Structure 1
Amino acid sequence: MLTPSPPAPLRRPRAPSASYTPPPLYGRPAARPAMASGAELAALRAPSPGRPEHVLRPRQLAAAEMVLSGALAPLAGFMTRREALHVASRGALASGAAWPLPVTLGDEEGRLVAVMEVEDVWQEGAGEWRVGGELRGVEAPVHRDLARLRTTPAAVRSALARGPHASAVAHFTRHAATPRAVAVARSAPESIAGPAACTVLCESDADYVCRALSWEAALRGGAGAARLSLVPAAVDAPRTRDGLLRLAALRSIVARNYGFSHVSVGPEPEHLDGLVGLRDSLAAAREMQQPTGVVPVLVGEAEQEALARELAALREGDLARAGARGRVARVLSTRYAPGSARGVCLFFTGLSGSGKSTIANAVAQRLLLCGDARPVVVLDGDVVRHNLSKGLGFSKADRRVDANIERIGFVASLVVKCRGVAICAPIAPYEGSRARARQMCGEHGAFVEVHVATPLAECERRDTKGLYARARQGLLKGLTGVDDPYEEPRAPELRIDTAGRTLESCVDEVMSALARMKLVHEDPQADS
């Protein structure tokens, strides 16, 4: 059950003078407060048997919190279908205010957070249902973890207004505190004249606790004052170039609503993964400069290179090379480990009959035989569908939602989080669902996508389950590769064509790739 608690104050001494005035909230926010009070609040809290209830998932709760706190001003609720389509096609709200990403409510027990005046209900193709409408806040969401770091936009704006600075810089981050990252956060960019207040806004997406604690430890003492605030990660942007650029643009709006004049643009996980260029993110933020008044500033090239090296070392679990020391190192050691001790998801994908399940099970046996101390769990597509996804069919509606792959990705992420090895072998025909599995597992460890690229003709020749014969006879509909598409991975970590090869050689290739990535110790040619 959620219980209310007051927002945490920003723990910095009050400055003797005030010369900084935070900008007003973005757009034209609603005239009435988002949180209900008085008789209206009592009416909303009263039992209402005819009122449907929806229990919010963490991401949905974060979005509601951002709306109610004013961090997503001028939004007063979740967008309707018409509003979401308007934003997606024109990059602006109906009022004309620039807006990069739709904020919608898609398809835990707790207190009543808000009541929505439902204005629209629609379905995304054959996917999940969405609901749009204005929110009336009842009780602010309460967090039992790191409450001391969770500050509302109003609290941040108030703290900024008390400082003797001429500008305020927001450093959004989704990575841990490394020495160069901390140095960048502590000092204003050279392009900013006069004193500036610097605040690290750590986004509370998956696996945020360790990152937030590392920043809290790193910012204690030392030269240069910097505040730390944990902000909800409200919008789950697609992990594509366009989605990530829209997210970069949205940060300018959030920065404005938190009271900042500048937003720092530096290396983040998506830049290290090559999904989007750093200067592309800067350009996206610059497009929002005129409507928001928030000026983007790029981290210097020397800092970029040093920070990228530290983050790469951190991903490999090399805390010493990442520069972690003292309390920061102790905090990070709970999350980051050397490659051979990290959790890892091996995600095999390919057509039916390509050999992915056979290779997956053989790799699992090799890991066990080579003495790998990590637990190994095999999540075969057919087995998972029978046990975890019973009731899901192969219709286009079921497969477009791809709930089976979502469930596999979720279970795999739990294994990875516990530093185990999850070996998945579904067909996983759609790029979007594979990307979501990568995101879920990648937050906790390594994700290795293996495309078993055996040609369709060879898969049909094998036809171990008789599926292709039935499909060609018209007795089976929706078979991937025949009358349902398979979207080939664009950049898998490994691609294997099993035609004309032995199982042993395929397993060796997988183990060799894992050894190159420093995810196993075993000699790839070891006799199993």
Structure 2
Amino acid sequence: MSSLPEPHGGVLKDLLARDAPRRKELQAESETLPALVLTERQLCDLELILSGGFSPLEGFMNEKDYNGVVENVRLASGVLFSIPITLDVSKEQIEELGLKAGARVTLRDFRDDSNLAIITIDDIYRPDKAKEALHVLGGDEEHPAIRYLYNTAKEFYVGGKLEAINKLEHYDHVELRYTPAELRAHFEKLGWSKIVAFQTRNPMHRAHRELTVRAARARQANVLIHPVVGLTKPGDIDHFTRVRVYKALLPRYPNGMAALGLLPLAMRMGGPREAIWHAIIRKNHGATHFIIGRDHAGPGSNSKGQDFYGPYDAQHAVEKYKEEIGIEVVPFQMMTYLPDADDYAPIDEVKPGTKTLNISGTELRRRLRTGTAIPEWFSYPEVVKVLRESHPPRAQQGFTVLLTGYTNSGKDAIARALQVTLNQQGGRSTTLLLGETVRHELSAELGFSREDRHKNLQRIAFVAAELTRSGAAVIAAPIAPFEDSRAQAAKTVEQYGSFFLIHVATPLDHCEKTDKRGVYARARRGEVKGFTGVDDPYEAPAKPHLTVDASKSSVRNIVHQIVLLLESEGLLDNGN
């Protein structure tokens, strides 16, 4: 008889196993049905419904279950559940696919068009998003999940039970992607009966190892490191890097104490409600204990500097329902290093006056960025090695320089000269994206309307972002006349590296007077339409990183100013 806790609701709803005998039949039927292509978040939810991770759910919530969860933290059956698991659709999708109660619809993976499940629709309903935002997430409109609810999630929800056709296909860390049934079988094989689950979406260091080991020893248990590898908080370190860190750290645990499994969860950063949800999910995976830290699953603070949730709201929420959930809360103990003892201790057990050391997340990121040493008392060398591979020092990071200005402002000449200068210095590849070249190679079908100009710049930004991510220097020199388009381009690139906006503010009359190709003259005669500065506007940048004027400074001098800007940011310091 198993010593592991029963799944939430009493039975593990493993739809992949349940529907396996009918899989060929369901696959054939799925090809005849209308298909709804799922988003990344919907795919994460679907995967955990199919595997039983969201037991007792057997599908996306119908209106009764949804209202019960939003208002009372309970499904219509009375079983505790804290987060709405919903399938959002638009009015257009409803009409196009003929969605209605009783209809059967294929759910399809957007990545490879594979059919994953069939939903039999119970109902289609319009949710009260304001009530959902308030009761589930706290109501602050700056909350990222509330912004998603209002700006991304579609107008209607579709509820209904699922029948499984295929598992989602993953190509990374397959050996660590356990379903709840597989993880429970793994624990049974190892003879584990008490399991402390540790949720994380960040790299782990020595302090994390110490707190998990102490939690396990105090309860005569083993440790399940169970990181989220679905959708986490924007700006988090990618899961590829994090999993390499966890794998590097695992041998540092006493032999046989810890196991690693990956959770394909789409987090909502919902604080107390999310903590209850996380506890239910870990119980379904076989855990008996769950570590909950300060501000567990919180998104941080809003624009006023106020935290969305209280520091211990999540612990209190799970503690309130711990008997019903059937999992014991383990409070996260903040660990601090005691250099005189060469040991870690819970910070609330340290005597006043005792010397302690710590490195904040901000300081760690600075050390990674600059290549400064990270002491072994803070993190193990094998962990630091993984982090340095994914976070090269500034002088090895990619960046983009966008020069904007009128035609014949000198921006093309400056861009070419800057490319030569950076190539001369070496250290990284340099790519030049001139306006006319991009128009010819990437945007030949576009005109010069505001919409087409926006599309053209976003294509440049996409290419620049990909090159920046790979560590290259990108120099782009389109006209880029509109502020909102430049802001969007900056946002695209800044996901992967630094972005510098250079306003080549050469006056229009100088650009026109020195135009040897005669394009301004043709525009004045009406032979060229939509020409920036003649019959189309140019919006000067509000906050460029640098403003230059080719009518007053030489190209050489302007390039030197840009180089100084890059050097001041540490991007050209090659250590020579």
Write the deviation string for residues 445-476 of structure 1: whole angstroms up to 9, x where unpaired: xx112234678x96798588869x89x9x965
Give deviations 1:64-94, integer Å, cap 9, x for gaps: 42443344667766799x99x99xx999999
Give the 5 Å matches for 1:24-103: 24=8, 33=15, 37=19, 40-46=22-28, 50-51=32-33, 61-71=43-53, 99=83
1:435 aligns with 2:485: no
Query: Would the aligned equivalents of 1:360 and 1:423 in 2 still touch at CA under 8 Å?
Result: yes
Q: Could you tell me which of 368, 376, 379 is aligned with 2:423?
A: 368
CA shift, 1:21, in A, is: 4.3
1:497 to 547, 552, 557: 547
8 Å Cα contact 1:163/1:197 also seen in 2:
no
Partner deviation per Cα, 1:288-336 (whole Å, 9 max, x = no partner): 9638958796663858951423343234455655866554455445434
TM-score (norm 1): 0.63
Could you tell me whether the CA contact under 8 Å between 2:282 and 2:290 is conserved in 1?
A: no
Query: In the TM superposition, what is the alpha-carbon distance from 1:201 to its structure 2 partner?
Result: 0.7
**Match 1:172 to one of 178, 200, 210:** 200
Amino acid at match of 1:263: I
**2:564 alignment counterpart:** 512
Q: What letter is aligned with 1:173?
A: R
Q: Determine the structure 2 residue equivalent to 1:264.
A: 293
* Alpha-carbon separation, structure 1, partners of 2:508 and 2:272: 43
> 1: CA distance between counterparts of 2:509 and 2:311?
46
Q: 1:47 to 1:202 in 2, by over 3 A?
A: closer
TM-score normalised by L of structure 2: 0.58
Given candidates 214, 228, 233, the residue that maps to 2:260 is 228
Structure 1 vs Structure 2 CA RMSD: 6.1
Q: How does 1:387-426 map to 2 (within 5 A)?
A: 387-391=441-445, 407-424=459-476
Partner of 1:290: 317
Amino acid at match of 1:496: L
Identity %: 19
Question: What CA distance in whole angstroms lies between the structure 2 residues aligned with 1:316 and 1:105?
Answer: 46
1:204-219 aligned at under 5 Å gives the runs 207-219=238-250
Matched, 1:138 2:188: no
The whole-number CA distance in structure 2 between the counterparts of 1:79 and 1:487 is: 47
Which protein, 1 or 2, shows the higher relative CO under an 8 Å CA cutoff with sep ≥ 6? Answer: 1
- Once residues 256 and 383 of structure 1 are traced to their aligned partners in structure 2, the CA distance between those partners, rounded to angstroms, is 55
Provide, for residues 345-366 of structure 1, a one-character-per-residue CA deviation record: whole Å limited to 9, x for no partner: 3253767679876655443332
1:297 to 1:113, Cα distance in 2 relative to 1, 3 A = same
Q: Distance in 1 between matches of 2:296 and 2:403?
A: 30
Distance 1:202 1:31, change over 3 A: closer
**Deviation of the 1:388 alpha carbon:** 3.2
Q: For residue 216 of structure 1, report the CA deviation from its aligned partner.
A: 0.8
1:312-327 equivalences in 2 (<5 Å): 312-318=366-372, 320=374, 327=382
The runs of 5 or more residues in structure 2 that have no matched partner are: 91-109, 127-148, 232-236, 284-288, 323-328, 338-356
Partners of 1:65 and 1:141 within 8 A in 2: yes
Distance in structure 2 (CA, Å) of the matches to 1:79 and 1:502? 65
Are 2:294 and 2:332, in contact at CA under 8 Å, matched by a contact in 1? yes
Give secondary structure in 2 for the equivalent of 1:367: helix
1:262 positional shift: 3.8
Conserved? CA contact 1:105–1:132, under 8 Å: yes
Task: Find 2:500's aligned residue among 450, 457, 463.
Answer: 450
Residue of 344, 351, 359 corresponding to 1:306: 359
Over 3 Å counting, the alpha-carbon distance change for 1:488 and 1:178 in structure 2 is farther
Work out which of the two has the higher radius of gyration on C-alpha atoms and give 1 or 2.
Answer: 2
Which residue of 2 is the match for residue 152 of structure 1?
Answer: 179
Q: Which residue of 2 aligns with 1:241?
A: none
State the distance in 2 between where 1:275 and 1:450 align.
Answer: 27
**1:113 partner letter:** L
Distance, in Å, in 2 between the alignment partners of 1:398 and 1:285 is 50
Between the aligned partners of 2:359 and 2:448, the Cα distance in structure 1 is 48
Question: Across the two proteins, how many residue pairs are aligned to each other?
Answer: 469
Deviations 1:459-497 (A, max 9, x none): 798588869x89x9x965999x988999967xxxx7223
**How far did residue 150 of structure 1 move?**
1.5
